[in-house]
Amino acid sequence: MPKFAKAETQAENVVKGLTKARIIKSYGTARNYEQALKAVAKWTKENKVNGLQSLTPDVARYYLEYRAEAVGQKALDMERQAIQAMMQLNGKLPPKATLYRVKSELDEIKRSRAYTSAQAQAVSEHQTDTHQLSTQIAYAAGLRAHELLTLARAEERNPDKRPALHSKWAGREGQLYTVQGKGGLIRHVLIPNDLVEQIEQRRFENPVTVKDRKINYLQRYDIGAGKRWSDSFSKASKRALLFSTGAHGLRHSYAQERMRELMSIGFKRSLALETVSQEMGHFRPEITEVYLR
């Protein structure tokens, strides 16, 4: 396996190149870009990407989407600008081309609030059958809107290697599927058996390619997903409950319900928090804490 320079060294070398090429001209910008690129370089190492210089625009977007739950818009934009400048320097981007601007989800996560089981059911009853099923799946498995597009049987696709506690899905029954989450991470999710039967009745004979927020996905099931489902959920929530905290509120529901379940069967809070972070696909207990507010 090839060895690569430390994150700090990679970031420092890139900034030196940007400064020499007069792409950045101030000390403050150089310092900010270097700090941003350190974070990117660490992510490339964790995800077995061959260092900063090997980043492509598509991989950069995966990275920025991964970071969108952890940092605010200002920090996310700084990282995007630093990557963009590096790619303009190394020819991965034309001089005046820009990277897709990913929206931070941190404020949305902090703003959203959990739906109770009764509230989620009431919202789903104000949706079409296609979107109704997706709401039930998202509530039961804690899925993001775009992850519904990527749902696949467990045997069809291997999950990425990540830490996996034996406590995952303790106390729940169902069948394993995979989804592709933030940063392109493929992980297992557990779908209750009653929903599995409904999902499989909607399986396409052949997967179809759909575009959501300028990204192409291979969709295997005829269910609501992506922005269309998210918009449907918000409208239905306002009709049913006279308010909406957004589809992201269902991830809050999942986090809070799972924490209560795991602790009620004897797990310590720290282990329950780590377990839920793995089930939700961000693998960072500190992010799960935000969902518990």
Q: Among 2-11, 147-156, 278-287, where is mean pLDDT lowest?
A: 2-11
Residue 99 parent element (H or E): none
Is it the case that residue 1 has pLDDT exceeding 80? no
Q: What is the pLDDT of residue 178?
A: 98
- What does the pLDDT average to over 89-115? 87
Q: For 46-84, what is each residue's pLDDT tens digit?
A: 777 788 888 999 889 888 988 888 889 999 999 999 999
For the chain, give the percent of residues with pLDDT over 90: 69
| 7-104 and 114-291 agree in CATH topology | no
How far is 144 from 193, CA to CA, in rounded Å? 20
Cβ proximity of 164 and 142 under 8 Å: no
Q: Among 1-5, 65-69, 196-200, where is mean pLDDT lowest?
A: 1-5
**The CATH number of domain 7-104 is 1.10.150:** yes
Is it the case that residue 149 has pLDDT exceeding 70? yes
- The domain spans of the chain are 7-104, 114-291
For the chain, give the percent of residues with pLDDT over 70: 98
Q: Which one has a higher pLDDT value, 61 or 267?
A: 267
How far is 121 from 46, CA to CA, in rounded Å? 39
pTM given for the model: 0.81
Is it the case that residue 156 has pLDDT exceeding 50? yes
**Beta strands across the sheet bearing 186-191:** 152-153, 175-180, 186-191
User: What dotted CATH number matches 114-291?
Assistant: 1.10.443.10
How far is 61 from 100, CA to CA, in rounded Å? 7
Q: What is the pLDDT of residue 188?
A: 96
Cβ proximity of 210 and 222 under 8 Å: no
How far is 142 from 133, CA to CA, in rounded Å? 14
CA atoms within 13 A on the CB side of 79: 28
